[in-house]
């Protein structure tokens, strides 16, 4: 089977981290992979997580299998975090949830469910989007297409082309939307645009599938769900993929959920039985530890407050870095406008750097970023920021 087999192509983003690790230059800077870093360049374990783990170590009674769709009490708490406890469809029992292996696992379950229930559907992805969306869809065997998201001229959401495209999506298709902190552009709709998207979803009847991987990284957990709630209040059915990778820093614990909004509680529960069947053959039942950490934090008033405090600090560091980067570049390039960096949301900034500039920065300055010029602003450190601003300025001069 493996005789003279060709190696698979490296993952474009994780492969970048491997190349960064192997780079011996001491000045190297990793602005590629999408993980939060503190001022020292580490991806920390939150205090709330440590405390929850201590509590779990002292009180957990079993490592026996969880139900296939996860612990119901934990899933209830997750639903309340995602939608808010007073969201009518949640109170009415029209939302069912399954624990998932991070946001990726949730997307996988949701796409597999769509493949089963709507095999002829096309999933419409924003252009650009996180590379794994298309890859998962190919693997699941669902057709995909794209709709415009980003306008490079205004460096914001391409309102009119986006609305035109969504108005033409057939009712039996599915539209993937980033709920906040769009990856890779950092460009999110404003409330008025969300209203227009919601109106089109309602009248056209296509199924919205929200990828909500960054709740709390844009503004805060409540404001970040505003667009999602705007749409979900007006449609009978939807899917939402959530993740604790970023907002609790539980990257390697693989904790997330797939939320299903249906017309009735019976429909929601019936849909969940299909998700369980899909999960059963993929991994049988979900991992306990990450979800137990999240559940412990959400259930405990003090731990929850501590977590929200730490999440706010992560959000502030990201927003602060945006200002530092924009100011640093503006000071070196007075004839250019960098205010878009501050307007964008979440960890990523679409820098607008060309392929040649990105390649030069990597080859000559050991500054790593994703092709297309996506910068993880959380990867900027006080010690490296001037070097990054100088280097980007030089790349702009060399490759105008
Ligand atoms: C847009 C988007 N969706 C989903 C994910 C998946 O996150 P997880 O690590 O929870 O699988 C990511 C992670 O980078 C992401 O950027």
CATH class of the structural domain 14-44+315-398: alpha beta
Q: Residues spanned by CATH 3.40.640.10 within the chain?
A: 65-299
Q: Is the pLDDT of residue 76 over 80?
A: yes
Active site residue 246: yes
Mean of pLDDT values over 90-109: 98
- CA terminus-to-terminus distance, the chain: 49
- 17, 32, 78, 102, best to mutate for ligand 1 pocket (most atoms within 8 Å of CB): 102
pLDDT digits (tens, 9 = 90+) for 365-382: 999 998 888 999 999 999
Q: Which of 224, 246, 307, 360 is catalytic?
A: 246
34 CA: nearest ligand 1 atom: 14
Q: How confident is the model at residue 351 (pLDDT cuts 50, 70, 90)?
A: confident
Q: How confident is the model at residue 304 (pLDDT cuts 50, 70, 90)?
A: very high
Q: Which of 124, 130, 206, 360 is catalytic?
A: 130
Mean of pLDDT values over 326-339: 95
Mean of pLDDT values over 55-64: 96
pLDDT digits (tens, 9 = 90+) for 20-42: 999 999 999 999 888 999 999 89
Active site residue 173: no
CA of 135 relative to ligand 1 center, distance in Å: 13
pLDDT digits (tens, 9 = 90+) for 166-207: 999 999 999 999 999 999 999 999 999 999 999 999 999 999
Residues belonging to the chain: 400
133 CA: nearest ligand 1 atom: 3
CA of 241 relative to ligand 1 center, distance in Å: 9
pTM of the model: 0.96
Q: Residues spanned by CATH 3.90.1150.10 within the chain?
A: 14-44+315-398
251 CA: nearest ligand 1 atom: 9
Active site residue 38: no
Helices 301-332 and 47-59: crossing angle in degrees, nearest 10, is 150
- 35, 176, 216, 243, best to mutate for ligand 1 pocket (most atoms within 8 Å of CB): 243
Q: Is the pLDDT of residue 361 over 80?
A: yes
| Ligand 1 site, CB within 6 A | 34, 102-104, 130, 178, 183, 211, 213, 243, 245, 251, 256
- 17, 183, 255, 283, best to mutate for ligand 1 pocket (most atoms within 8 Å of CB): 183
CATH architecture of 65-299: 3-Layer(aba) Sandwich (3.40)
Three-state DSSP at 98 gives strand
The 3-state DSSP composition of the chain as helix, strand, coil percent (nearest 5) reads 50, 15, 40
129 CA: nearest ligand 1 atom: 1
Q: Is the pLDDT of residue 13 over 90?
A: no
Query: CA-CA distances (angstroms) from residue 249 to 2, 44, 293, 310, 359?
Result: 37, 7, 11, 10, 30
Q: Tell me which residue of 279, 272, 264, 281 sits closest to 117, measured CA to CA.
A: 272
């Amino acid at each position: 089977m493996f005789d003279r087999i060709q190696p698979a192509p490296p993952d474009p983003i994780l492969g970048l981290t491997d190349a960064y690790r192997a780079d011996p230059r001491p000045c190297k800077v990793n602005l590629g992979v999408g993980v939060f870093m503190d001022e020292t360049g580490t991806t920390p374990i939150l205090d709330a997580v440590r405390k929850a783990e201590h509590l779990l170590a002292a009180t957990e009674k079993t490592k026996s299998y969880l139900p296939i769709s996860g612990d119901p009490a934990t899933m209830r708490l997750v639903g309340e975090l995602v939608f808010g406890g007073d969201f009518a469809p949640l109170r009415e029992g029209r939302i069912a949830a399954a624990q998932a292996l991070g946001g990726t696992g949730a997307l996988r379950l949701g796409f597999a469910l769509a493949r089963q229930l709507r095999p002829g559907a096309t999933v419409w992805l924003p252009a650009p989007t996180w590379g794994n969306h298309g890859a998962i869809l190919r693997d699941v065997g669902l057709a995909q297409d794209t709709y415009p998201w980003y306008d490079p001229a205004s460096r914001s959401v391409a309102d009119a082309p986006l609305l035109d495209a969504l108005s033409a999506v057939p009712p039996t298709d599915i539209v993937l939307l980033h709920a906040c902190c769009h990856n890779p552009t950092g460009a999110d709709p404003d409330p008025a645009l969300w209203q227009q998207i919601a109106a089109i979803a309602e009248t056209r009847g296509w199924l919205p599938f929200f990828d909500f991987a960054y709740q709390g990284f844009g503004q805060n957990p409540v404001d970040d769900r505003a667009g999602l709630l705007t749409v979900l209040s007006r449609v009978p059915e939807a899917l939402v993929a959530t993740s604790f990778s970023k907002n609790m820093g539980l990257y390697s614990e693989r904790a997330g959920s797939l939320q299903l909004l249906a017309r009735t509680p019976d429909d929601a529960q019936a849909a969940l039985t299909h998700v369980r069947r899909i999960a059963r053959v993929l991994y049988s039942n979900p991992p306990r530890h990450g979800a137990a950490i999240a559940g412990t934090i959400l259930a405990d008033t003090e731990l929850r407050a501590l977590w929200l405090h730490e999440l706010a600090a992560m959000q502030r560091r990201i927003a602060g870095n945006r200002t530092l980067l924009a100011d640093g570049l503006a000071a070196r390039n007075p004839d250019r406008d960098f205010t878009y960096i501050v307007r964008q949301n979440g960890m990523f900034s679409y820098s607008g750097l060309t392929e040649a500039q990105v390649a030069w920065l990597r080859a000559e300055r050991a500054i790593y970023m994703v092709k297309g010029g996506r910068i993880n602003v959380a990867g900027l450190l006080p010690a490296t920021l001037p070097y990054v601003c100088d280097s980007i300025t030089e790349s702009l001069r060399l490759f105008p």
